[in-house]
A and B are shown apart, each in its own frame.
Chain A
Amino acid sequence: MSLVFYAIAGLTVAGGLAAMLLKNTVHCALALTVAFAGIALLFLELDAQFAGFAQILVYIGAVAVLVVFAILLTRGSETPKGGVFSRNWLTGLAIAAGVFAVLGWAVLGSARALPGPGGTPTAAPTVTVLQIGNALMGRYVLPLEIVALLLTAALIGAVIVAMHEKEGAK
């Protein structure tokens, strides 16, 4: 737990908070991007280069841009007059607490699965991108293919949605 970790963690949490509390939707999206960047930096601090760069490439390069596009193409980026807090915030709170509990349980459980006495981690193994690639193509090829199938289905679905609209307009 170094100073760098606290700085990055602070940045990430601040980004997440800002994404929740800011009034302007586009500002929220940009703040969310800061949170994404913080998570990527956390991965890099843990020497997980592949995960860190993939996080930047996918979340900042694609997801953030997609979010921003969606905001601009739907409601417009104007600040709503009636405030940004939803009326059924209690339900939201319950769901958020549930998700946090599951994540916390998973993280605490994984510490016990680590090798070494009493669940304390031994020397961190260095993982190269080559090893990740081999693992994805060997041991984890079935999950990879299932994800690929899902994405292809989503892609075809998007094309069909777009095509239908075009025919109707004619």
Chain B
Amino acid sequence: MIETADQIFVLLKQWVVGLLPAGLQPVAGVLLSVVAIIAVFPTLFALAVWVERKALGRMQNRIGPNRVGPLGILQPVADGIKSLTKEDIVPLSADAAVHFLAPVVLVVAVFMGFAVLPMGRNMELVDMDAGLLFFFAMGASTELSVFMAGWSSRNKYSLLGAMRAVAQMISYEVVLLLSSAAVVMITGSLSLVKIVEAQNHYTWGLPHWYIFTPWGCAGFVMYAIAATAETNRSPFDLPEGESELVAGYHTEYSGFKFALFFLGEYLAMFSISGLGTTLFLGGWSAPFSFLGWVPSWIWFFAKVMLSIVVFIWMRGTLPRLRQDQLMNFAWKFVLPLTMLNLLVAGLWRFLGDGWERWVVCSAILVLAFAVMGREGMRREHFGPRRYRYAE
């Protein structure tokens, strides 16, 4: 019974594929998984938009959407119909072909990332030997689509937003890759399935997730910072800062193309949360060994949705950074710490199984964090700030 609940989607897929003639079966299996991914994540997107609007409303002393359906739960449906029926405006001076391609490239590249995420036991579209590399390769392709959108619009706000977005994404991508590299070093594999399996062990009922090791904890914090910046979420949402750039690179998009950008942004959030879950939070494994009877896919989606709630929470809490703060933070603080974390992960591997490695690794990381933080803060001048306005 437990086994069936855990593997229900796998069994369902095998049953449906089994109905078809043998020649079609491999293709049908892949198609079915792709359709499942394309159906599930946009549904989650609708749910996440509703949660975000409700939660943000609460944090800002508003009620949030409450007209469509009970508690406004059907608001995403109404939004969807609205964006489908809206006029699709392309500016006269815009580069029509590139303007059209940009949202398509974005959504396609983001969807590709889901192919390698293990969403439950035996629930991955492809188990690639270089799965992590594939994920990052797809993530890197989204940068170009952002640039295409900003450049083809022929709008200064769009172009500024795109330049900011690309600069930010390149800077934080380094951090993202290096913080994940520590996990690869310890596991000894780039396959996401193997990374989850390596974390799926228990001692005294507690899991061996990488976040519960000194290097994993530091790595996860840096991964979370980089992920927030990579998905252009607040406090790193400068590329679309409403107060200064209208809407950044998608200023000139309306109707369904705008909806595609919106979808792409949320899907990127889901996929990067999914990767974070896989790398540091044990993927589909249960948080306690006695909870092992709960189906594995429930744990994966629960962890992803929890990360989304944290994203929303941060958006409601933190003010937006300035561009120079953003860049300084990435290159002068987070990047050196990720490099140190790589060294610490190596130490962890070679110090053996005793308690010494816990003390040594934690001490190095805490010390580096404190010293670098203090050094950085000392150079900052807090106090009244003078502004020079354009004359």
Contacts and interface: CB of A to CB of B under 8 A. Distances in A.
B114 interface: no
Interface string A28-70: 0010010000000000000001100110110011101100110
B140 A61 contact: yes
Interface in B88-128: 98, 128
B151 A57 contact: no
Contact of B140 (A26, A30, A56): A56
B312 interface: no
Select the residue from B133, B159, B163 with max chain A CB neighbours within 10 A. B133
Contacts of A53: 130, 133-134, 136-137
Contact of B189 (A56, A61, A69, A130): A130
A62 to B, nearest CB: 7
Nearest to B137: A56
Contact of B128 (A49, A61, A64, A130): A49
Contacts of A57: 133, 136-137, 140
A129 B140 contact: no
Contacts of B136: 53, 57, 61
Contact of B147 (A49, A54, A65, A130): A65
A56 B141 contact: yes
Contacts of B143: 61, 65
Nearest to A60: B141
Given A56-B140, A57-B137, A65 B166 contact: yes
B145 to A, nearest CB: 11
B170 A49 contact: no
B342 interface: no
A88 interface: no
Contacts of A62: 140, 170
A99 B202 CA distance: 58
B237 interface: no
29 contacts: A26-B151, A27-B98, A30-B98, A49-B128, A49-B133, A50-B130, A53-B130, A53-B136, A54-B137, A56-B137, A57-B136, A60-B141, A60-B144, A61-B136, A61-B137, A61-B139, A61-B140, A61-B143, A62-B170, A65-B143, A65-B166, A68-B144, A68-B151, A72-B159, A129-B129, A129-B130, A129-B133, A130-B188, A130-B189
A88 to B, nearest CB: 30
Given A50-B130, A54-B133, 15 more contacts: A49-B130, A50-B133, A53-B134, A53-B137, A56-B138, A57-B136, A61-B140, A61-B144, A61-B173, A62-B170, A65-B143, A65-B166, A65-B170, A69-B163, A129-B133
A19 B223 CA distance: 36
The binding surface of chain A is classed by DSSP as helix
Contacts of A60: 137, 140-141, 144
Select the residue from B129, B136, B163 with max chain A CB neighbours within 10 A. B129
B1 to A, nearest CB: 38
Given A60-B141, A65-B144, A130-B189, A77 B173 contact: no
B297 to A, nearest CB: 26
B129 A68 contact: no
A64 B170 CA distance: 12
Interface string B163-181: 1001000100100000000
Which interface class (under 10, 10 to 19, 20 to 34, 35 or more) fits B?
Answer: 20 to 34
Interface of B: 98, 128-130, 133-134, 136-141, 143-144, 147-148, 151, 159, 163, 166, 170, 173, 188-190
A91 interface: no
Interface of A: 26-27, 30, 33, 49-50, 53-54, 56-57, 60-62, 64-65, 68-69, 72, 77, 128-130
B148 A30 contact: yes
Contacts of A49: 128-130, 133-134
A69 B363 CA distance: 41
Select the residue from A27, A50, A53, A68 with max chain B CB neighbours within 10 A. A53
A136 to B, nearest CB: 13
Contacts of A54: 133, 137
A62 B141 CA distance: 9
Contacts of B140: 56-57, 60-62
A130 B133 CA distance: 13
Which are the 9 A-B pairs with shortest beta-carbon distances?
A61-B140, A56-B137, A53-B133, A53-B137, A57-B137, A49-B130, A129-B130, A129-B190, A57-B140
